[in-house]
Structure 1
């Protein structure tokens, strides 16, 4: 029988790992508590968090206990990892609101009943820390020379690294120490950009407590040419249906590059690997079968089976030419907006991020009303363009929006 580490390896999750043989034996013979941290910088998780959710689910299915750690304390500082700018500080109220939104999304992947998983907030201990106490207890175990060689600080040194941000690694290491003391947590997992921070926590526990502690990073979700996945014209691909509809979510995965299909099937679905390989081996037009299956499975995980099926039907109807107006996602305008410039309506309803983006779309020949290409950026949406208070707009080759007067 495969161990959970074998499953994570086979599916392509693991980027780096400490003490590999020890972890192999541990995960095969014991049930452990592990944690992944999530900074509550928005009121929804996005596709960048997806791998962490999948890893937690695989681990829990193998009998291990996840801790979802909300970074209520660290979010007030900001993580410099992979960032070139300092993060904005947040209020306690915003952090609490965002954390509650996260828990609803976590619950689609992991079971919190009977303490099978925990959700904790590092503000519960970080906010109470005494500065002298933290210097004495933790600061003595950190080498500034070694910290400055960490990847997460290197790019920031050129721009200037604030002392506030410099403390982030120490705070994250302290989180691991606290979780170890409070819950017996012995492993931290995270994206590969967190490797330096995870090593700091592993090292701190081993020094302070003379106990084993472990770290594992999973690969970042990128395209075959190295770009981050989950970026759309509107920005991030969110897991909240209010921010990214089930249809938009389905369409994103339906339209990914051929080269990324097998990897995404392995990382973002629970399909058996034999099926993943079979679908991934399809070529030419047949690869669309694999893309449709990927889009359906991923949308089911986030939006549920019913919404995923509706999204699939909508896409099929749109591309088949039938029932397009019924199935396309809606942008609602008031009667007073009829006769307004198309650019203004597109920006006001969020169809595009800005009017300049709409102008570019028109200039590139990528915007249609019905079957007619829009060529005039000054065009107005007049009443004669609507049928039963509705019209169909197409952006590019595959994105349809129904504009409705209500």
Structure 2
């Protein structure tokens, strides 16, 4: 416990808000908790941040509780949401809870000594509505509730507003903190910066019901290029931890494509490299950013954690093949590598009989573009490559275009690849 957890999280950029004087409380081991609502069947890269913070706490001797929100997921957290959530059935929530729990256990397999997994449905399901509004609801005025930034924002939205269901979410999360404080002596809740209002509600509830002091800490949200946060129920594309939702190749490429403006921040957040080693890598990267040293290191470290060492080696090999400018090397690829490429990038299968009848390039490309006209525009812009050779017209594909006896590799621009298997 010699090293300060607050100092460790601060230099990594992992603190957004914190309760005053939390540093003194953390000089000795305490119990903290993080929570995940099972609104999807997989965690995503934004969910890694609280797990990473949990590991930092573990390394410094603290105990951790991980809460799966079987009850709160039934309602839906309005924090950071512009619209009401779509309600999920208990059957789906149960399935999602089990899948997320298994993901967490796998990710923390070397850090489980002082970790306990819980589900808030276990203690909330037996509380009646009347009991809850009498014992918990009486602790807060409506004025207090609508002063929360999330609630205020939704109330001021004349189009959608906020439902009573979502309005009550903060009270239920606050009750979780009270319950864990009383049953598990939990003193600290950690969440994303959009959770600050919910966390402080829990802190206030503990103070009013027990007279005890509790603490909260939030981290900055990880956002997409459009500024939206990565969320399990967000619209648009996420980077998922489940390989069936985001392939290991795509996962690796996400980290490889982080801009130089952000990579120094991400290497601190998403790895456990020491401050000295991190600063050394940053210094080397700044001298020659074209080598993408930080991107490669981060992509390797985090893909290895999520998908394992063997898969990561395979992905690096695939990456080297796809971005190799020497098209002649494609003819030398083993079946193992070609199969791996096929499994990891957008692909489709084409019957050999159909290929033999004759098929034009644009007819195939239309399977990977929104429309044939989009594919045609890309072709006219000289953005299409066939087996790494630039193609400028709508050619009829022939046997000569096949590599490895059954594959044709396409590239769009610098980074988009897709492949066809002919059988």
- Stretches of structure 2 lacking an aligned partner (at least 5 in a row): none
Summarize the alignment of residues 196-345 of structure 1 with structure 2, pairs less than 5 Å apart. 196-222=197-223, 228=229, 235-281=237-283, 282-283=285-286, 284-320=288-324, 321=326, 322-323=329-330, 326=338, 328=341, 329-330=344-345, 331-335=347-351, 339=359, 341-342=363-364, 345=367
Does residue 79 of the first structure (1) align with residue 85 of the second (2)? no
Aligned 8 A contact 1:112 1:118 in 2: no
* Aligned partner of 1:127 among 108, 125, 128: 125
> How far is 1:235 from its partner?
1.2
Task: Quickly say closer, same or farther: Cα 1:358–1:183, change in 2 above 3 A.
Answer: farther
Aligned 8 A contact 2:271 2:301 in 1: yes
Aligned 8 A contact 1:192 1:220 in 2: yes
> How far is 1:45 from its partner?
0.4
- Alpha-carbon distance in 2 for matches of 1:10, 1:380: 57
* Aligned partner of 2:45 among 37, 44, 47: 47
What TM-score, normalized to structure 2? Answer: 0.84
Aligned 8 A contact 1:261 1:280 in 2: no
Aligned to 2:148: 150
Aligned to 1:394: 411
Aligned 8 A contact 1:333 1:405 in 2: yes
Aligned to 1:193: 194
Aligned to 1:349: none
Aligned 8 A contact 2:192 2:218 in 1: yes
Task: Quickly say closer, same or farther: Cα 1:386–1:10, change in 2 above 3 A.
Answer: same
- Alpha-carbon distance in 1 for matches of 2:84, 2:74: 11
- Alpha-carbon distance in 2 for matches of 1:357, 1:298: 38
SS of equivalent residue, structure 1 residue 81: coil
Deviations 1:60-113 (A, max 9, x none): 121222222111111111111111111111112211221222122212443588
SS of equivalent residue, structure 2 residue 26: helix
Task: Quickly say closer, same or farther: Cα 1:70–1:230, change in 2 above 3 A.
Answer: closer
- Between the two proteins, the alignment pairs up a number of residues equal to 395
- Alpha-carbon distance in 1 for matches of 2:373, 2:85: 26
Aligned 8 A contact 2:230 2:238 in 1: no
- Stretches of structure 1 lacking an aligned partner (at least 5 in a row): 347-351
Aligned 8 A contact 2:366 2:372 in 1: no
SS of equivalent residue, structure 2 residue 222: coil
SS of equivalent residue, structure 1 residue 161: coil
SS of equivalent residue, structure 2 residue 293: helix
SS of equivalent residue, structure 1 residue 14: coil
Aligned 8 A contact 2:270 2:302 in 1: yes
Deviations 1:370-399 (A, max 9, x none): 2355678x9997877544221112233123
Deviations 1:190-223 (A, max 9, x none): 0001000000001101110111211100111247
SS of equivalent residue, structure 1 residue 128: coil
Task: Quickly say closer, same or farther: Cα 1:380–1:215, change in 2 above 3 A.
Answer: farther
Aligned 8 A contact 1:249 1:299 in 2: yes
Alignment root-mean-square deviation, CA:
3.0
Deviations 1:219-268 (A, max 9, x none): 1124799565799x981111111111221111111111001111111000
- Name which of structure 1's ranges 180-189 and 383-392 shifts more when overlaid on structure 2: 383-392
Aligned 8 A contact 1:44 1:238 in 2: yes
Aligned 8 A contact 1:4 1:58 in 2: yes
- Alpha-carbon distance in 2 for matches of 1:230, 1:203: 27
Task: Quickly say closer, same or farther: Cα 1:337–1:291, change in 2 above 3 A.
Answer: farther
SS of equivalent residue, structure 1 residue 28: coil
> How far is 1:174 from its partner?
0.9
Aligned 8 A contact 1:258 1:287 in 2: no
Summarize the alignment of residues 98-137 of structure 1 with structure 2, pairs less than 5 Å apart. 98-111=96-109, 116-137=114-135
